[in-house]
Structure 1
């Protein structure tokens, strides 16, 4: 990296930290620190909700997902607008009417303290693990590509987030996330324009899409019912709806964002703003990955984008075999470049033959890349052979001009900071309100709970850093964020749906059902019963069904007056 890139990168990050700390340093009470004084307007709520969800993994992994597998991943978000509408009509009015600080406060008024504590505990388990992963995932990729020390990079991201989250609480998170989203939008638009400008002069956007379509990258919707396909229209609409309902409706890292709204209407408008913008944003990020794919139809790409893999194989006994695969790939890429040029200028009558040739070359290329992955795994099983997360960062570092590399890296680190800040803020708030304050015998002044929340923020931040620094002991962490969420979210959502809609089910039945359900879902995941996205529906339905059965057999139902 050039000096200019480093200056832009660290100046951007420093500005965000300082600005957030200064704008929100005066928090006099718990309401200010946890709910931001209920001063946020709808655009602040909407951007904050979006920034919380858009972690660094989104901007590292999604373009690579499109590069390898096409646009089908966007189906993952099809259920989000449906979920947001339900939350705006059902969840939000209840939260605002009860003036809760956390989503789990409502469960005590509907059930009892043990159900509230159990649900808050499930949230703390899954979200604390996720906080460490959202630090570690971008750190391991950036350290591999830039050669930066992984340990210090984890600590750097964690400390920057802790500084302004401890200083300003929810208001600091909301304020900084507006700046972070501005950096993210600017960086993504700039990257798209530059990628397009790097294509040959005779390749316009329509022709670029024609080339992508010929390589099966534009198949957006899959209506199959097969569990072998992780992302389909049905898994997105059904499983995605339940995941989004759980995440936006019951996860405190999201609930806390819109509870800071100036009014119920502002909160609802902020969520609807997010629902309208989220799917197009994900589509645009995937489209950037498609444009990167088209770019590499006219330029050479590595056989594996993970630089650590290349380095390890080069120093091993398999180096000559690996180089032979690279030479074969170059030959295929030369042929594909010629076909891509022809395809962009072809008529409908020529396309059938060109399609056949492209399919054969794509099949050979896939086989070569799979052989390369096999060699890499033989050299070192710990090296990540799935290189989707390295595609976009490889393009950035090897093709963008000075200055813009720093901007795009600032996008990635800003996303890591924004999602981690929301998680730490929510973890601390839940710990203070649902566990510490609720179980403390003697009530204290507001200042005591503000200081307690700051200490819990610091504590959870240190935990996240420690987990990130030891995360190399685990595998597949990039995908683990959504998997961890799906293991817990369905159960939690079912508890809330029981609370909202099935009034005759009482606390003891729900508490026992939640414990049984969590055990079954965890067991089912490790037995690989279904794709993880469907675990949200499974867990939700299971806890509702078990709770109803238990209520029938434990005690005759009684109506709530």
Structure 2
């Protein structure tokens, strides 16, 4: 990185932190600190979008598309469905009851232990996810600076903690608008640069055709199969339940639209996110596909993770790895020549393209076999080094193929996304701990200033815990999948509790509490069995969401209850 990159990166991050502290300076009440005030719909919409669009989105999603193509966009097809249901049912109730957290409603509808259970499940899964959102950008700077990940985790975590502790929900809201502007400007810039750096005879249409020949452009998959994580059916059913729980019951999202000025402002803001989220994810995946096309004409490392290559080259397997590298370069050279030949005949009417398509398919298969052999060598050299390099693909492109200045901008994009998402998570964790745990179980009423002070301490505490978890988490299969897997372990049960609360008025507190405990145990057991099945996925993680929700609802209806439910005048 050049000095201009450092200047852009540091000045952008410093501005965000300073702006958040400046805009929220002065004394705040607990309502202002925890709810954020009367936000307009565009602030609500951008804040909701920025909360979900973490660094993982811009770090991991292009790598997902590079490897697996556009199919991942199906994961978001359930979002518009979920948003409409939330606007009709969830938002009016939350607003009428003037709750600080989603879980306050559960005590009014059921009892204290059900509220506490849902709160604790949220705190566990969101606390883990906060660590991952810190860990993701730390990977970037680790690759750039060759620094220890643990030190970067600390630096990034503390950077977020500064303005989140200072300003609470309002600080999160006011900074996320600027962060989303930086994020989208950077991604559009990256996309334009990728396309313009393709060979002169490769138009955008040709690039899409090349990606299609490599099976990267398939968006819809209507084949129903539990073995396939991403198809239309898993999206419409599994992902819909996940999105409904995330946007309707996860305090990190609920808190964003609870800051809305009115029900209509909340609804419009959430619908704004629902309409734009799928196109945004499609665009980010398309960036990854264009990176794939770019690398059909340019050289790539045998493994995109620089730490992995360093580890194997310093081991006794270095000679074998060098042989694989030589083979890799030979395959790349042949593939690049075939790709250029294919580009020349694409626009020639009547040209026989089939031999070149078949040759390219064969070369890509040989390349992947070579990469797999390299991963095995790396694993033998150091079992603790992550061999999966999906999340390093976009970083490699940024560092090696962007002009000076834009490297700093793209790194600022990813770090801005990390800060916005992590700040929302810490803010929500603090609010839930303060309102649903600390305040609810306090033996005596405290002053408003006391609760604001405790909220700040809880924000700091959760931030430090997130930094700690970030220091031990691994890349797993893919960062964006890891976040969704963690959510899927808990979201179904939490959603089931809320569905019973909203739609089954005769179900009582004892029944839903027991049903939720059993459901959560079953979901965790199913996932555990999958992990012990030697790589055979019996039930993909997206299906854990409807399983948990429907099992909770079904068991609650079967179990019944012993106490009459408290009457609650709910809006229709």
TM-score strictly above 0.5: yes
User: In structure 2, how many angstroms separate the alpha carbons of the residues matched to 1:558 and 1:134?
Assistant: 39
User: In structure 2, how many angstroms separate the alpha carbons of the residues matched to 1:526 and 1:540?
Assistant: 18
Q: Does 1:547 align with 2:549?
A: no
Match of 1:26 in 2: 26
TM-superposition CA deviations, 1:466-512 (whole Å, max 9, x none): 2223436x955824221111000000000000000011110000011
User: In structure 1, how many angstroms separate the alpha carbons of the residues matched to 2:566 and 2:61?
Assistant: 48
Match of 1:343 in 2: 342
Shift of 1:446: 1.6
Shift of 1:349: 5.2
User: In structure 1, how many angstroms separate the alpha carbons of the residues matched to 2:320 and 2:478?
Assistant: 30
Match of 1:244 in 2: 243
Shift of 1:256: 0.1
| 1:214/1:358 contact within 8 Å kept | no
TM-superposition CA deviations, 1:253-281 (whole Å, max 9, x none): 00000000111111111111111111111
Match of 1:537 in 2: 546
TM-score, normalised by the number of residues in structure 1: 0.96
Q: Does 1:35 align with 2:44?
A: no
User: In structure 1, how many angstroms separate the alpha carbons of the residues matched to 2:268 and 2:260?
Assistant: 10
Q: 1:450 pairs with 449, 452, 459, which one?
A: 452
Q: Secondary structure at the match of 1:350?
A: coil
Q: Does 1:102 align with 2:101?
A: yes
| 2:95/2:263 contact within 8 Å kept | yes
Q: Does 1:90 align with 2:92?
A: no
Q: 2:467 pairs with 465, 468, 475, which one?
A: 465
| 1:250-261 → structure 2 map (5 Å cutoff) | 250-261=249-260
Shift of 1:465: 1.6
Match of 1:140 in 2: 139
In structure 2, relative to structure 1, the CA distance for the partners of 1:27 and 1:100 (3 Å cut) is farther
Shift of 1:137: 2.7
Match of 1:115 in 2: 114
TM-superposition CA deviations, 1:72-121 (whole Å, max 9, x none): 11111110111011101110111011111100011011001111111111
Q: Secondary structure at the match of 1:525?
A: helix
With 489-498 and 409-418 compared, the bigger mean Cα shift is at 409-418
Q: 2:359 pairs with 357, 365, 377, which one?
A: 357
Match of 2:533 in 1: none
Shift of 1:126: 0.9
User: In structure 2, how many angstroms separate the alpha carbons of the residues matched to 1:558 and 1:214?
Assistant: 59
Match of 1:59 in 2: 58
User: In structure 2, how many angstroms separate the alpha carbons of the residues matched to 1:151 and 1:321?
Assistant: 31
Match of 2:309 in 1: 310
| 1:206-355 → structure 2 map (5 Å cutoff) | 206-344=205-343, 345-346=345-346, 347=349, 350-355=352-357
| 2:62/2:287 contact within 8 Å kept | yes
In structure 2, relative to structure 1, the CA distance for the partners of 1:348 and 1:273 (3 Å cut) is farther
Q: Does 1:153 align with 2:162?
A: no
Q: Secondary structure at the match of 1:471?
A: coil
Shift of 1:348: 5.9
User: In structure 2, how many angstroms separate the alpha carbons of the residues matched to 1:125 and 1:65?
Assistant: 27
TM-score, normalised by the number of residues in structure 2: 0.94
User: In structure 2, how many angstroms separate the alpha carbons of the residues matched to 1:356 and 1:441?
Assistant: 73
Match of 1:77 in 2: 76
User: In structure 2, how many angstroms separate the alpha carbons of the residues matched to 1:495 and 1:407?
Assistant: 43
Match of 1:6 in 2: 6
Shift of 1:51: 0.7
Q: Secondary structure at the match of 2:36?
A: helix
User: In structure 1, how many angstroms separate the alpha carbons of the residues matched to 2:236 and 2:565?
Assistant: 35
Gaps of 5+ in 1: none
| 1:392-407 → structure 2 map (5 Å cutoff) | 392-407=394-409
RMSD of equivalent CA atoms: 1.7
User: In structure 2, how many angstroms separate the alpha carbons of the residues matched to 1:58 and 1:122?
Assistant: 24
Gaps of 5+ in 2: 531-537
| 1:5/1:405 contact within 8 Å kept | yes
Match of 1:440 in 2: 442
TM-superposition CA deviations, 1:499-547 (whole Å, max 9, x none): 0001111000001111111111111101014111110010001111111
